[in-house]
Amino acid sequence: MPFKKGKSADEIVSHLGEGAELIGEISFTNRLRVNGTIKGKVRSEALLEIGPTGRLEAEIDVKKVVIKGEFRGVIRASERVEIQKDGKVFGDIFSPCLIIEAGALFEGRCNMSQGSTGAEA
């Protein structure tokens, strides 16, 4: 078995498991998977994955987000937002790229303008 140095970009480094609840603000530097509940703010320059049992009621500012569970709030993604077939999003999305699979639910607004932060001037 070969040994690897460092972490791959797709490797889950942090995980908030089912039954766990975080209220407040969280930031991370490597990929995070959430199967529990977060209420508050999420910040990162990495990928956030909301698992099938994950529930977020938050304002998030990340590089990429993949949604398989449920999200309510505002998403600001510098690279991409992906709502997979069982994912549900209720809120506003600010991202240059939005992917919605068949069967997913998106109820809200999306702004795909280059450089948009979602902040009101």
Residue 73: give the domain boundaries: 14-111
In what helix (H) or strand (E) does residue 26 lie, and over which residues does it extend? strand 21-28
* 118 is a domain residue: no
- The residue whose two tokens read 């510098």 is 78
Q: Strand ranges (DSSP E) for 29-104?
A: 32-34, 37-44, 47-50, 55-67, 70-83, 88-94, 98-100
* 103 is a domain residue: yes
pTM: 0.84
Show pLDDT as tens, one digit a residue, over the chain (121 residues): 444 455 555 566 789 999 999 999 999 999 999 999 999 999 999 999 999 999 999 999 999 999 999 999 999 999 999 999 999 999 999 999 999 999 999 999 999 986 545 444 3
* 75 is a domain residue: yes
The total domain count for the chain is: 1
* 6 is a domain residue: no
